[in-house]
């Protein structure tokens, strides 16, 4: 079940009728898949290389990898909640108003963050973050363009967020919504 115009958060109602440029054409839909899955491929390959060349022992590598996964999912939650729904909501409102439209943006800022975190925390940590980012990209793309490919609870979680934009900020996991009390029950 996809979000309808009347089902999104009240703060997004003004954006509903003003997005003529957002109409999805077959070319843009194909480009969306290329961008998402190209970025997923780059993230997974880079993560694999960074993990493989990490000079640490297996226990340290695994611990840092898991730390990277946990940190990325937390960062995803915080950015979605406080930046995309707080400080810089304009583009994100369009996404909520038209959830099936193509998202043709690569968030280059996250790649700069990955490079900076690599300098601080090393390859195994960034490898975990990259794998978590790839999962985020997959989940978000499938939630809007291939819902049959996602576990039902994760899909419903994201669909509920589009209906009530003040809850369910996690995309790749529901963990942080449980921790911070933003889970829609």
146-182 pLDDT, tens digit per residue, is 778 888 888 898 888 878 778 888 999 999 999 999 9
CA dihedral sign of residues 140, 160, 113, 128:
negative
Tell me how far apart the alpha carbons of residues 54 and 23 are, in angstroms, rounded to a whole number: 45
Average pLDDT for 34-62: 91
Q: What is the pTM for the complete model shown?
A: 0.78
Q: Which phi and psi (to 5°) does residue 32 adopt?
A: -60, -45
Torsion angle of C-alpha atoms 101, 37, 162, 88, degrees rounded to 10? -80
89-138 pLDDT, tens digit per residue, is 666 666 666 566 656 566 788 899 999 999 999 999 999 999 999 999 99
Question: Which of the two residues, 34 and 170, has the higher pLDDT score?
Answer: 170
pLDDT for 86 equals 84
| 27 pLDDT tier (thresholds 50, 70, 90) | low
Percent of the chain with pLDDT over 70: 72
Q: Are 168 and 158 in contact (CB under 8 A)?
A: yes
Tell me how far apart the alpha carbons of residues 98 and 161 are, in angstroms, rounded to a whole number: 13
| 48 pLDDT tier (thresholds 50, 70, 90) | very high
């Amino acid at each position: 079940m996809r979000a309808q115009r009347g089902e999104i958060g009240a703060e997004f109602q003004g954006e509903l009728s003003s997005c003529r440029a957002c109409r999805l054409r077959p070319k843009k839909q194909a480009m969306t898949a290329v961008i998402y899955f190209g970025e997923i491929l780059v993230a997974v390959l880079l993560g694999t290389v960074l993990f493989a060349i990490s000079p640490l022992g297996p226990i340290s590598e695994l611990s840092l990898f898991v730390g990277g996964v946990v940190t990325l999912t937390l960062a995803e939650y915080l950015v979605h909640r406080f930046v995309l729904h707080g400080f810089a909501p304009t583009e994100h409102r369009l996404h909520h108003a038209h959830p099936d439209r193509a998202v043709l943006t690569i968030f280059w800022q996250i790649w700069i963050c990955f490079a900076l975190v690599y300098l601080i925390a090393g390859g195994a940590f960034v490898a975990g973050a990259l794998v978590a980012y790839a999962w985020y990209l997959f989940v978000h793309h499938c939630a809007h363009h291939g819902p049959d490919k996602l576990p039902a609870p994760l899909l419903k979680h994201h669909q509920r967020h589009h209906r009530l934009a003040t809850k369910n900020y996690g995309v790749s996991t529901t963990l942080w919504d449980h921790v911070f009390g933003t889970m829609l029950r």
